[in-house]
Amino acid sequence: MSDTATSASIDAFRAETRAWLQANCPPEMRRPVVNEDDTCWGGRRWKFQSDAQRQWLERMAERGWTVPDWPREYGGGGLGKEQVKVLREEMRALGCRSPLDSFGIWMLGPALLKYGSHEQKLEHLPKIARGEIRWCQGYSEPNAGSDLASLQTRAEDKGDHFLVNGQKIWTSYADKADWIFCLVRTDFSAKKHDGISFVLFDMASPGVTTRPITLISGKSPFCETFFDNVQVPRGNLVGEMNRGWEIAKYLLTHERNMIGAIGDRGASRPVAKIAAAKIGLDAAGRLDDPLLRAQIAGFEVDETAFRALMERAGDLARQGDINPAFSSVLKYYGAELNKRRFELSMQAAGSDGLEWEGERSTDGALARAWLRTKANSIEGGTSEVQLNIITKRILDLPGA
Ligand SMILES: Cc1cc2nc3c(=O)[nH]c(=O)nc-3n(C[C@H](O)[C@H](O)[C@H](O)COP(=O)(O)OP(=O)(O)OC[C@H]3O[C@@H](n4cnc5c(N)ncnc54)[C@H](O)[C@@H]3O)c2cc1C
C-alpha cells in the first residue's frame, strides 16, 4: 500500500490488521513485559523463552512486520507510513509485545537502506528482519564517548581487506552479538571527522574478543571489545572510504529516536496497572493512594503528550520537513520520562520493589530495571550532549 492510501483503504487495513493480530498474537505475547527475558533479541545463539515467543516472531517475520516499513525485497512488509502507524496502534490496543527488538532494526537497517550497496542490503537486511543475526554497535572508545570523532581504532587498507586493531567500550551485548557495525579510522592525517570509515564484520572473526562489564543493576549488558589484527573483507565497507562520519551521524539519529521511544512504553509497562495491582483500588475504583494517583496522572498526561510529539515528528519526517537534530529532543525527553516511569513504579511497589533476589523469576526485576533506566540519559549520547545539540542546531542560540 502506498502513502496516498484513501481513508476507506486505511479502514479496511485496520480491520484486517486487528483480525490478524487477534488470531495470531499468542495470549502470552499480550502480557506486559516484566523482565529482560521477555524481550526477543534474536541471533544465532538466541534461546527462545517460550514457544509463544518463537511463534510470534515467526508469524510477524513472515509478513515482514518485524520491519513493516522496509521494502519487501529486503524482508520488510512494504507498508506505507500510514499503514505502519495503524499497525502500531492496533498492536498497542491489544497490548502486543514487540516480536523482535534489535540494533539491526533500530540502527543498522536504516543506515544500510540509505548508504548500503544493493548486495549489502540483500545480504544483511533479510537476516535482520527474521531475527537471524544479532548486531552490536562499535562506536565508543575509552577516549571517545561524547567526543566520538576522536576514535582511534585503526583499519589499515590491505587491498582486498582491512586490518583492524583497537578497542571499543560499552559495546552493548557484544558477547551475544553475531556481527558488529563499527567505526574505524582509515586516515590518521585528515581532520578527525574526515578519516573515519564505517565497516561491518563478523564477531566470530579471529582477533575479536569481548570482556563483559557489570552495571549497577548487577547485570552485564555491555562489554569492552578488543580487535587484534582482525581481517575485514573490503566488501564490508559501507559507503565511501573516509566518509563514515556521515553514516555514523545518520545512524545516531535513528538510535536517538529509538531510545526516545522508551518514553512511550505505556502499552507494555502501564504504571497505573502496576500500581493498582500493588496498592489496590478505593470504593470509586481509583488507585487507593491520592498522592501517587496524582503523580501517575501527571506522568500519563506527559506520556500522552510525548506520544503525540513522536507522531508529529513522524509526520514531519514523512514530509521531509524535520530538522535531523529533532531526534535529540525525543532522546532527551524520552529518557527522562522512562526514568520517571520507573521512579513511580518503585514508589508503587513499596518495600517489595527493593527485593533483589528470590525464587520467582520476577524477583528483583523491578529494582534492576529501575537501576537500568539511570543509563538512559547516558547511552546514545548523554543528556548534556543532546541539550548542546538542541541549543546549537534547533534553537540557534548565540554562542552555542
Ligand atoms: C547502557 C549503555 C549502553 C551503551 N551502549 C553502547 C554501545 O552499544 N555502543 C557504543 O559504541 N557505545 C555505547 N554506550 C556508550 C555511550 O554512547 C557513551 O557512554 C556516551 O556517549 C557518553 O560517553 P562517555 O561515557 O565516554 O562519557 P564522557 O563523554 O566522558 O562524558 C562524561 C560527562 O561529561 C559530560 N560531557 C562530555 N562532553 C560534554 C560537552 N561537550 N558539554 C557538556 N557536557 C559534556 C557528559 O554529559 C557526561 O556527563 C553505552 C552507554 C551506556 C550507559
Residue 10: C-alpha distances to residues 23, 70, 80, 160, 324 (Å) = 20, 19, 10, 49, 29
CB 366 within 8 A of CB 346: yes
Q: What is the mean pLDDT of residues 151-168?
A: 98
pLDDT of residue 266: 56
Q: What is the mean pLDDT of residues 261-288?
A: 82
For ligand 1, atom 37, name the residue with the nearest CA. 146
CA of 137 to the centre of ligand 1 (A): 14
pLDDT of residue 37: 78
Which residue among 140, 184, 196, 386 is best mutated to probe the pocket of ligand 1, counting the most ligand atoms within 8 A of its Cβ?
140
Question: Distance between CA atoms of 76 and 71, rounded to whole angstroms?
Answer: 5
For ligand 1, atom 26, name the residue with the nearest CA. 145
CA of 384 to the centre of ligand 1 (A): 10
Is pTM beyond 0.85? Reply is yes
pLDDT of residue 157: 97
Pick the atom of ligand 1 nearest to 146's CA: 29
Owner of C-alpha cell 512504553 = 265
CA of 380 to the centre of ligand 1 (A): 7
CA of 97 to the centre of ligand 1 (A): 29
Tens digits of per-residue pLDDT, 345-396? 999 988 888 888 876 666 788 898 899 899 999 999 999 999 999 999 999 9
Which residue among 41, 135, 146 is best mutated to probe the pocket of ligand 1, counting the most ligand atoms within 8 A of its Cβ?
146
H helices of the chain, in order, are: 7-24, 51-62, 81-94, 103, 109-115, 118-129, 244-260, 271-279, 290-318, 326-349, 365-373, 383-389
